[in-house]
Amino acid sequence: MMNAVLFDLDGTLLDRDSTVRLLLRDQYATFASHLGHIDPEIFVSRVLVLDDHGHGMKKASLYASIVEEFELPATLAADLLDHFWRRYPAFCRPFADVVPTLSELVRRGTPLGIVTNGTQRVQQDAISALGILSYFKAVLISEVEGVRKPDHRIFHKAVERLGVDASECCHVGDHPLADATAAKEAGLVAIWKRTSYWSPPAADIPAIDTLSEVLLYV
């Protein structure tokens, strides 16, 4: 049984796909005077493809590509980019079982941490929007730490801040390489939160479908 738990943020605690889809629908409505000739589902779907669940194009490049592809005014790219990041926190949604699972882990006295790639402002705003910050003893954001997953050092920093050995801590994440494989190679117990869009990691890494299944390991 594990004595501490680390979590990825996007796609693990934060239902990022739903968040971004809602945001893009708001974006389409906001910029309807420019986007109205494009079918809304085509616009949303195209952005989602380029975003690739947060592992695709950087947003500035993504919107430059969208503007070119749909023959929109070049100046619109900056406006779409600004809208995306400004409105992002308003649409952040946790998966349904996140708060009950975190509450139970804290009730059991399990120290918790977040290890996430991204910028400080965006990730802090997302965590605050989810209302889950108080559950965590440590939050490591790659921009702040100067190191990104899958680099093992960010996992080592995290377990040190939780005050446990790597071997008694599990890391839960949806990315098969940056989360599951990297955490295992760093000496933690890796748990893959199964997705439909990425191939699974090595067969010896356990997989869960819902976050509440983490309770079976603690």
pLDDT tens digits, 79-106: 999 999 999 999 999 999 999 999 999 9
Report the pLDDT averaged over residues 188-215: 96
DSSP state of 181: I
Report the pLDDT averaged over residues 71-82: 97
Q: What pLDDT is stored for residue 81 in this prediction?
A: 98
With 0-12 / 13-18 / 19 or more C-beta atoms within 10 angstroms meaning exposed / middle / buried, residue 216 is: exposed
Report the pLDDT averaged over residues 189-217: 95
Residue 84 CA, distance from chain mean position? 16
pLDDT at residue 25 is higher than 90? yes
Question: For residue 128, what are the contacts with CB-CB under 8 A and spacing of at least 6?
Answer: 89
pLDDT at residue 1 is higher than 90? no
What is the CATH code for 4-15+93-217? Answer: 3.40.50.1000
What is the number of residues in the chain?
218
Q: Could you report the per-residue pLDDT of 115-169, keeping only the tens digit for each?
A: 999 999 999 999 999 999 999 999 999 999 999 999 999 999 999 999 999 999 9
Share of the chain above pLDDT 70, in %: 100
